[in-house]
Structure 1
């Protein structure tokens, strides 16, 4: 399989990357594609529209990545929102999905480093985090290891632009 150069555009600049098979880790984003449970009744329809738009943008992003780089495996920590939506898309698209167990809190960067290296992850798609999430540690460690990390904005998530 030949290597493909991909300019990734995520609303925060772009970066050229070359991959043939991508091992992707999806982190965070518990509220992506979901209507908040505390949504006032008068705004439920607007919340549904927003959630549906986020789901479509996430699917388009993953579809474009797979079409141009072939996602070898999609990994996640089985949290609701972006992680489970991505896993569902991958499953129905015939892409292998791997549910990872997050490193226990307090284990530090060594546990994150071990997981990232063991799984041979090439790309981390980091969605907004909740206060109780510790996936931000994975993104920081991934960057220190030279793994590409893209911080995703669900409100401005655009598909990748390919040259």
Structure 2
């Protein structure tokens, strides 16, 4: 089974409510491009590795967009916040490692984040491939 965890990217593919009125149209275009980029990246990964399970924390932006893509693509998606009081990232690096091991994650897609990147660090420490997504580049880039 090939499992992919999508993390971060709260503003990825969406227009933040704090966007200045003069920038809304440009931000709408950018959000649409980001959504297309996310879908193309997931399709590419799926064509090469056949994603069986997409994991996410149901946060706005990249995570919900990826969950929606999985649903319309007929791929199982799992919300990791179900039954949890806090996301493991809030609980620290050890909680992230435990979750990654329990879910048998094969790949972590880390979208730009204004908060934490604990899952990427935990995944790297476990030898799991991490792809850091750069929205300025038209395809996903590994950092």
Q: What is the TM-score when the length of structure 1 is the normalising length?
A: 0.78
Cα deviation, residue 155, structure 1: 2.2
Tell me the equivalent position of 1:25.
5
Tell me the equivalent position of 1:38.
18
1:112 is paired with a residue of what secondary structure?
Answer: helix
User: Greater helix share, 1 or 2?
Assistant: 2
Cα deviation, residue 111, structure 1: 1.3
Tell me the equivalent position of 1:140.
121
User: Quick check: 1:115 aligned with 2:99?
Assistant: yes
Tell me the equivalent position of 2:84.
none
Cα deviation, residue 108, structure 1: 2.8
Tell me the equivalent position of 1:16.
none
1:25 is paired with a residue of what secondary structure?
Answer: strand
Distance in 2 (alpha carbons) for counterparts of 1:92 and 1:142 = 27
Runs of at least 5 residues in structure 2 that lack an aligned partner in the other structure: 82-86
Post-superposition Cα deviations, 1:47-83, rounded to whole Å, max 9, x if no partner, equal: 1100000000110010111112100100001100000
Distance in 2 (alpha carbons) for counterparts of 1:118 and 1:69 = 20
Contact 1:54 / 1:155 at 8 angstroms: preserved in 2?
no
Tell me the equivalent position of 1:5.
none
How well do the aligned residues superpose, as a CA RMSD in angstroms? 1.6
Runs of at least 5 residues in structure 1 that lack an aligned partner in the other structure: 1-20
Q: What is the TM-score when the length of structure 2 is the normalising length?
A: 0.88
Tell me the equivalent position of 1:70.
50
Contact 2:54 / 2:67 at 8 angstroms: preserved in 1?
yes
User: Greater strand share, 1 or 2?
Assistant: 1
Cα deviation, residue 130, structure 1: 1.6
The structure with the largest alpha-carbon Rg is 1
Cα deviation, residue 120, structure 1: 0.1
